[in-house]
Structure 1
Amino acid sequence: MRIEISRYVLIGIRQISADAAPNEACGLLFGSEDRIDSFQAVENVHEAPDRHFEIDPAALFAALRAERAGGPRLVGYWHSHPSCDPTPSLVDAEMAAPDGKLWLIDGFNAITAWRSVERGGLHGRFDMMVVELV
Structure 2
Amino acid sequence: MTDLAQMIAKLEAASEGSRELDVDIAIASGEWTPPYGAERDADRPDVWRRSGVNYWAQYAAYTTSLDAIVALIARKLPGVAGWSVALDTYDNSAALTDMAGETRGAVAKTLPLAACIAFLRALQAQQETSEDE
Q: TM-score, normalised by structure 2?
A: 0.30
Between Structure 1 and Structure 2, which shows a larger proportion of strand residues?
1
Between Structure 1 and Structure 2, which shows a larger proportion of helix residues?
2
Q: TM-score, normalised by structure 1?
A: 0.29
- Rg bigger for which structure? 2
